[in-house]
């Protein structure tokens, strides 16, 4: 299994397709976020599945439990590999999200819960969200809450993976964005890492966006990331 998801942060399917076709990224796992999904809807998922792309549907749902359950019932029919909610939506919301996936008939979609966005620093979390505990402790708390309420794993930074695995078990999935091929590329992320460090810290899946999509040679960048993540080279 290929554990690297390329973030398709494009405004239209036409642009995403052109990128994948031009750079021969056939069948690579991809992350579809709000920008692309809200423009193209189910169509983009169907097109990607026709070309054998595993899909992480990154919608970060956060609403009252009934609404999230009903949304997940619809998403279940898309049969993507991963979909996510915000863990801060609480126990009942996450529970109902899982119920929606199951009642919607999905046989493979795994539910992930977003802990603290990788764009947040500890200082911002404490000042803006008024959460006084250390960032890692809050992430682990949300991961534990997600695990007991039906989530298959979490979205977190690589820096929290070891602690999450220690508390929730190695089988609990960690999907980690904020991955850069160059240590100097932060963009709008704060808690970042390289593919090599992500592997060393034991994460299961990584998401890479601009380091690949804005590379002069995206296929080469993707292959470099694979080599680094799988073999630490």
Provide the 3-class DSSP secondary structure of residue 58: strand
Name the one residue in this structure whose structure tokens are 């803006």.
128
Q: How far is CA 36 from CA 12, 136, 165, 191, in A?
A: 6, 31, 32, 24
Catalytic site includes residue 108: no
pLDDT tens readout for residues 174-211: 999 989 886 445 444 455 689 999 999 999 999 999 99
Active-site residue, selected from the candidate residues 17, 60, 190, 196: 60
- Pairing of β 153-155 and β 55-61: unpaired
Provide the 3-class DSSP secondary structure of residue 122: helix
What residues are paired with 25 via a beta bridge?
none
pLDDT tens readout for residues 44-62: 999 999 999 999 999 999 9
Q: How far is CA 102 from CA 17, 56, 105, 122, 148, in A?
A: 31, 17, 5, 35, 16
What residues are paired with 58 via a beta bridge?
33
pLDDT band for 42, please (50, 70, 90 cuts): very high
pLDDT tens readout for residues 120-139: 888 999 999 999 899 999 99
pLDDT band for 63, please (50, 70, 90 cuts): very high
Nearest to 57 by CA among 214, 71, 138: 71
CA–CA distance, 180 with 223 (Å, rounded to integer): 14
Mean pLDDT (the chain) is 93
CA–CA distance, 96 with 195 (Å, rounded to integer): 34
Token digits of residue 103? 């009642």
Length of the chain: 233
Q: Give CA angle at 86 (111, 164), nearest 5°.
A: 70
- pLDDT at residue 184, as a whole number: 46
Q: How far is CA 156 from CA 33, 111, 138, 139, 192, in A?
A: 16, 14, 11, 8, 10
Above 60 in pLDDT, residue 29? yes
Report CA torsion sign: 172, 173, 178, 179: positive
């Amino acid at each position: 299994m290929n554990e690297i998801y390329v973030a398709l942060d494009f405004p239209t399917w036409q642009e995403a397709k052109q990128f994948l076709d031009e750079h021969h990224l056939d069948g690579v796992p991809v992350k579809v976020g709000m920008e692309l999904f809200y423009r193209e809807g189910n169509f983009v998922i169907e097109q990607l599945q026709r070309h054998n792309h595993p899909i992480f549907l990154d919608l970060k749902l956060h609403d009252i439990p009934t609404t999230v359950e009903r949304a997940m019932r619809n998403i279940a029919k898309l049969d993507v590999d991963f979909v996510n909610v915000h863990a801060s939506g609480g126990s009942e919301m996450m529970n109902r999200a899982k119920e929606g996936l199951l009642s919607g008939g999905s046989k493979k979609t795994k539910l992930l819960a977003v802990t603290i966005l990788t764009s947040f620093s500890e200082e911002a979390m404490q000042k803006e969200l008024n959460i006084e505990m250390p960032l890692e402790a809050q992430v682990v708390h949300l991961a534990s809450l997600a695990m007991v309420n039906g989530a298959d794993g979490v979205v977190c930074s690589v820096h929290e993976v070891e602690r999450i695995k220690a508390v929730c078990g190695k089988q609990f999935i960690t999907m980690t964005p904020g991955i850069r091929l160059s240590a100097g590329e932060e963009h709008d992320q704060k808690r970042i890492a390289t593919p090599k460090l992500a592997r060393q810290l034991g994460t299961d899946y990584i998401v890479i966006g601009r380091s690949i999509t804005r590379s002069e040679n995206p296929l080469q960048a993707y292959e470099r990331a694979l080599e680094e993540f799988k073999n630490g080279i």
